[in-house]
Amino acid sequence: MKSRTRKIFPPVFMFLVYAFIYIPILILIIFSFNESRLNVVWTGFTLDWYGKLMKNHEVIRALINTVKVAFATTIISTVIGTLTAVGMYRYKFKGKVVLDNLLYIPMVIPEIVLGIALLIFFNKTNIPLGLWTLIIAHSTFCIPFVVITVKSRMAGFDKAQEEAAMDLGAGQFKTFIYITLPNILPGVIAGALLSFTLSLDDVITSFFVAGPRSTTLPLQIFSMVKFGVSPEINALSTLMLLTSLTLALLSEKFKTK
């Protein structure tokens, strides 16, 4: 009897854990197709809320801002993060361990602290709040994720390939472009997708550094929720959820290649 209980308990426990996590998300997705505006009872299936969402000018403007910020953040974070990871892995210098540990600070400190710190910085340097402050803020917490992802990819990299290329006359730049980069490319792509996802979903940091005309999609959802959760918000949340999930799965796929 005890042996049977031990076999049954782990699957049941895991089912309850996953149900606790995913049932609320599933309910949100289902009610995005609800005919009634009230999220209380199911009255019928409809796609009208998705149609209304596409005609909402404020949502479209927020979506454009979000995509702009996410793309710019991804490019900046990927370039800086990749070069940092290569430099940290390849070279030894004084204070390397300290710098390596400092990379984790933007990842572990509360987002509200980072948001307030960046807001104070922008005020003191007279940088007007807008898309550029959003891009700088998002790059701040995305770069460490790229560095860690690329560094983990470089852990299995054979340095003998670089040495062979240099022995044959290739300079450091050519060696990086033709030897190093192709080997670490899956890690670079995974880091870029992760940066795009993190930028796309950020709310708290964006709340502090966004300007009047630079509202992002998560902030738009946050402002809409103040007036009650409607199927239109559910539809918007569903689309963001599917986008984030797709990018996260792609990132994981490239990371394991």
The domain segmentation of the chain, as residue ranges, is 55-255
CB neighbour class for 226 (10 Å; exposed up to 12, middle 13-18, buried from 19): exposed
Tokens 């940290």 -> residue: 88
pLDDT of residue 59: 82
pLDDT of residue 116: 92
User: Has domain 55-255 been given CATH number 1.10.3720.10?
Assistant: yes
pLDDT of residue 100: 79
pLDDT of residue 133: 94
pLDDT of residue 7: 65
pLDDT of residue 6: 62
- Taking the chain (257 residues) in runs of 10, the rounded mean pLDDT of each run is 63 82 84 78 82 82 89 94 86 78 83 92 91 94 91 76 74 78 85 89 91 86 74 81 79 65
pTM (2 d.p.):
0.80
How far is residue 242's CA from residue 40's CA, in Å, rounded to a whole number? 24
pLDDT of residue 5: 61
196-241 pLDDT, tens per residue?
Answer: 889 988 989 999 999 888 888 888 888 877 766 677 778 888 888 8
pLDDT of residue 234: 82
140-153 pLDDT, tens per residue?
Answer: 999 999 998 888 88
pLDDT of residue 205: 92
